[in-house]
A and B are shown apart, each in its own frame.
Chain A
Amino acid sequence: MAPMETSLKQIHSIMNDENAVLIYSGEFNQEIVKSMLNYTEGKLESSGIDDMVRKKIFNVMVEQLQNITKHQFTDDEKAVVQPCFVLIEHENYYNLVTGNPIHVDTIQMVTDRINQVNGLNADQLKALYKEARLNSSISEVGGAGLGFIDVARKTENKLDFGFYDIESANYKYFTLKTQINKILV
């Protein structure tokens, strides 16, 4: 069996199991981001979901795709792992998943920031967002931290994340999953 055929079957099988409808794996730039947003917008329009939810999904997607565009490259040429974006559609909610390499030195900071965000309620997130904006001597990590708060506020759901080993001593693969409910409470 040809390797490509095997991959196609495996990709299709995982997509079926996880309800994934779109995967992009490659370099992210403005054109790609725009076309991903167009695709999702078209998909949401045809599915006839509420305008508010549509807007929410769109905003979160912009935030996540901007983050991935910013953090897609590594300094280590040996750690060539492409970033990716996955759109998942369940009956009651959408998941937006991004994956990109992350330097091992920043893993603890990112973990702490997401755990902090996940532990807060809506009012506390609002306050933290204000504070983070005021203190925006935006370092790379600080910028991403603001993004996590913003995404958590918009989705009103916990952020799911993971780090996976790649062939590099300095980098791991970071995945971030957000959930946006189709029906607003």
Chain B
Amino acid sequence: MEYTFNLQRLMSKSSYLLAIRDNFERLLSKSVFSIVESQMKNDNVDVNVKNRIFGVVVECVQNICSNDTAHSTTKNSILLLNKFENGFKIVVGTKLNKERKARLDIILAEISSSTLEELKAKKKSIIFIKKDLDETQKENLALIDMFIRSSGHVKYHYDGESGEDCFLIIEIEISNN
């Protein structure tokens, strides 16, 4: 049972409060938010900051984590909440197949090279599309939202790119200011 002690050590070392490994089906989203919310209630976090954190968690759970609900035993995504001196960090990791990796690669590269003003304009243009959004548009909107809500404090990288699948890790920092 030493793993519990090791996990606690690892969590403490990086100031992680919470780690959830799941397939993040819709039913659980509400419960995930409730844990994050209780932590923020505890810390008297400003409403504006709280809303930004919520927005990012929603996008992570609903649009970035692999919602592989057809196989409830597969838990290909992880969500971590980290508290630091000046705010919170949300870290999301999810397994990607080649197609999704190629798609997200393009979206992330484009977003990273855009200014916040350009991203806000892009967000508006996607929101005003009258018909239902396709997967690419949903992912694009989710990632744009994360960049805007965190004022551009988003880092991402891939792990284990050699095989069929890889693991995408995105870190989103929301400061209290």
Contacts and interface: CB of A to CB of B under 8 A. Distances in A.
Interface string B1-33: 111111110111110111111100101101110
A20 B7 CA distance: 10
Interface stretch (A4-12, A108-116, A124-132, A137-145): A4-12
Contacts of A55: none
A112 B4 CA distance: 22
Contacts of A84: 4, 7-8, 11
Query: Which bucket holds chain B's interface residue count?
Result: 35 or more
A52 interface: no
Majority-rule SS of A interface residues: helix
Contacts of A16: 21, 75
B113 interface: no
B91 interface: yes
B39 A32 contact: yes
Interface string B45-87: 0000000000000000000000000001101001010100000
A39 interface: yes
A148 B95 CA distance: 40
A42 B30 contact: yes
A38 interface: yes
Interface centre among A8, A9, A97, A173 (most CB of B within 10 A): A8
Contacts of A3: 13-14
A59 interface: no
B42 interface: yes
A43 B27 CA distance: 8
Interface of B: 1-8, 10-14, 16-22, 25, 27-28, 30-32, 34-35, 37-39, 41-42, 72-73, 75, 78, 80, 82, 89, 91, 93, 157, 159, 169, 171
Given A11-B10, A21-B21, 19 more contacts: A5-B157, A7-B11, A8-B169, A9-B159, A11-B16, A12-B21, A22-B21, A23-B18, A24-B17, A25-B7, A25-B8, A26-B39, A32-B35, A41-B31, A47-B72, A84-B7, A99-B8, A164-B2, A177-B4
